[in-house]
Chains A and B, each alone.
Chain A
Amino acid sequence: MRFLALLKKEFRECLPWLLIAAIAFLVLGGLALRLMIQSGSTFSYPYRLPPGSAISTFRLTVHSPLITTGVWLFFISIVLGLALGIRQFFLPHFSRTWGFTIHRSINKLTILCAKLFVAAIAFIISLGIVWMVIYWYASLPEILPFPPEPRLFMEGWILIAMGFTVYLGTALAGLNKARWYTTKVFPLAFVLVIIVTTVSQWKLSTAFAVMLIGSLILLSQIIHTFLNREF
């Protein structure tokens, strides 16, 4: 019951951001796909192939019609991560409600878990479900000439996971009681390293592994800082 009360409270606080992200991605991502379909530029194959000619091999590598949708997903995911991190971990400091929050008849760790759990659910609900809908729509035979690669579905989840990593970095930055403000935001610099490392991977499993390891590093620090910091 206590945990449920915490979950409800955290969920209610995150709800506006969750809704904005879901609506923004549905509208912008879906619109981007519709525009690609309507413009006819759903593929960029070399359409001028005179018989007997050579072909630049790079013209045979094509972007999916979901290209702009992916960009929107990435940016909305990052913004959602920042927003949730600030809402859950910066705002209590500015509004000085940490004292009221911490003095509960519940473990400190449970309070933290409620925040993290709600944030994870927020990403899954707001972006994950919408992404599944968009991907399913793009896979319908009558929509695109050729269905998108199955791999893209997992790549979309990696982009969502990047946003969650940004959230963890922002959370740690909010909890950090660093002496200098620049070192306070170092977790975000580390998140940038994780994202760059992930983007340079070409295997899905390696990309997921990088995200997982980076997130675990951040999570361990979040737990340690939350349990030991002063409020």
Chain B
Amino acid sequence: MKLKRISKYIATPAGTFTTLLTFLFVLVFLQFFVTEIVIVSLYKTRTEQFSGPDEPKSKRHRSAKNFLPDGTIHLVYVPDEYRYADEVYRKEQIFDANHNLLWQGLHKDNPYKYLSWPGWSHGFTANSMKETRMITPEFSQALEIPFYSQQRKIEQIWRYAPDMDIFVGYRFKAGIIGYAGSTGFTKLKDKARPFGRFENFYAWCPTDSFSPTLLWQTNRCIYQINFEKQRVDLLSQDHKDPIGRIRTHMWGDFTSDQFHISKKYRPIIHINKKYRPIIHYSTKDGKHHLIMREPQQKLSITVPEDWKADSVSFTATQKDIFLRRQGSDTKFSDTSPRFSKQWMDSWRDYCSKPHKRWVELYKVDNQGNLELLNRFDWISPARPVSSTLTPRLQIKGYVTGASPLAYDLAWSSFGDKLYGLAHSGHGISGAYASIIERYRPGNSIFNWILTVGMMGFAFWHGLSRRTCWGKFIFWLVLVGLFNLPGLLTYLALNHTAVIKCSACGRRRGLEKLDCVRCGAKLPLPQRRELDLIFKT
């Protein structure tokens, strides 16, 4: 008996939860399906058209602003028809700051050697690590660094163990040979120290080796791990503040200009011998840090407070170190959900106005002081954005009519967190946040009408079937919060039979013995006088 009661208190909410969850997913699936079908049928390509006085402005805006080592700026313009062509076939025009044509021809024949800037190479991030470690039917993947002999045969692998945060080395068909941690390579497991919270890594092959070397970034340090030479070098100092984003020129003994790397391995940049490879990273305190080679040098640079919104990059040659700053007078910032009506209105408003932009080149001395070499300003023209709603928005109002009110409640209470999760979150929590962001009704009248209608139906349905007011109100609230999934859950778990009450003639349920309307009990059978009921 006790177990019956205990199981009821766990099973009933569990049953409600599982049924509601299933209906919520079914609804999301249907909404997604309908949205995408309509999008495909309604989608029209939009092209941006610039004409008249805006065309030169647009050309200036779309040109790449490249600097020579002496600070001179060139505008490199690629006509539309060559915009997506391979580098080998790409034609370009080079203008000076006054828009005088200096040169035009194939990119490979360009006579100028510009300063090259490191790209935002995403590398292998902590999220990537989590994704590879996901427990799938194919099992999780391991990060394994192979060590090749001169005969190009694998002799060893070094496998990263995330739970211990060290590398474990195995020899070919021979078992464990050692461990690699922040303090270096060792044969004893106890002596290997963890690297620290993993953030990112890059890999390349040194010129004198067939085996990878890693640039291993944690939240506070950057290590270089050479498995062939069995060396772990700490490149960056241990900062108080965690390391933010990291940008690299190719950190390797890269010598050949002619060596062509296929697009598969982009964004690796061809670098020239005269440049010294650079790693640039910023810490959360806003400081920028540089680590350079040939010659070896480390530098920390503090930039003015008002530069925080601007893009700051570094590069270095054998002689000098340079900083490039790119900025704009106004930045687009709207924290509404992307592609929501409010976001679209803000974006349209932003694009409909011209904006002043600039790029500056600074020289950085050995103490981290900045000297302005050149600055170039231009106006980005207003861009017409289609005034009609995107197809997605067009039907969103209808499709999300059946979405739960609870999504809006969650958004109004935890919108920032949910937005962050949806756009940078990992795994299932990011997926749920994304669902709420995408399919929330946005306080639409249509949704409110549907919600009230469904509550009304649930009220009518439940009035004759109720067993207690508490449960009845609970279900009404559930239907109100979860709309269509809530109503379907209610019906799936509570749709019981009703009969006509013999006393009052109105509908009544059978879960309770007494009629909920008039309190009458179930009617007794009509006995015939001639029934042979003899109790002996």
Contact = CB atoms under 8 A, between A and B. Distances in A.
Interface in A174-231: 178-180, 183, 186-187, 189-190, 193, 196-202, 204, 207, 217-218, 220-221, 223-225, 227-228
A151 interface: yes
A202 B133 contact: yes
Nearest to A54: B268
Interface string B149-171: 00010100101000100000010
Interface in A151-190: 151-152, 155-156, 158-159, 178-180, 183, 186-187, 189-190
Interface residues of B, number: 76
A50 interface: yes
A126 B159 CA distance: 32
Contacts, number: 197
B19 A183 contact: yes
Contact of A202 (B15, B135, B204): B135
B175 A53 contact: no
A204 B157 contact: no
Given A51-B205, A63-B139, A221 B3 contact: no
Contacts of B208: 51
B260 to A, nearest CB: 10
Given A49-B148, A155-B140, A179 B12 contact: no
B264 interface: yes
A190 B489 CA distance: 14
Contacts of A60: 124, 143-145, 203, 212
Contacts of B159: 146, 149
Interface residues of A, number: 66
A47 interface: yes
A58 B128 contact: yes
Interface stretch (B49-57, B247-255, B354-362): B247-255
B189 to A, nearest CB: 13
Nearest to A191: B18
A57 B209 contact: no
A219 to B, nearest CB: 9
A71 B137 CA distance: 5
Interface in B408-427: 427
A97 interface: no
B330 to A, nearest CB: 37
B435 to A, nearest CB: 13
B426 to A, nearest CB: 8
A109 B256 CA distance: 76
Given A62-B144, A109-B3, A155-B140, A225 B170 contact: no
Interface of B: 3-4, 7-8, 10-12, 14-15, 17-19, 21-22, 25-26, 123-124, 128-146, 148, 152, 154, 157, 159, 163, 170, 172-175, 201-212, 250, 252-256, 259, 261, 264-265, 268, 427-428, 431, 492, 495
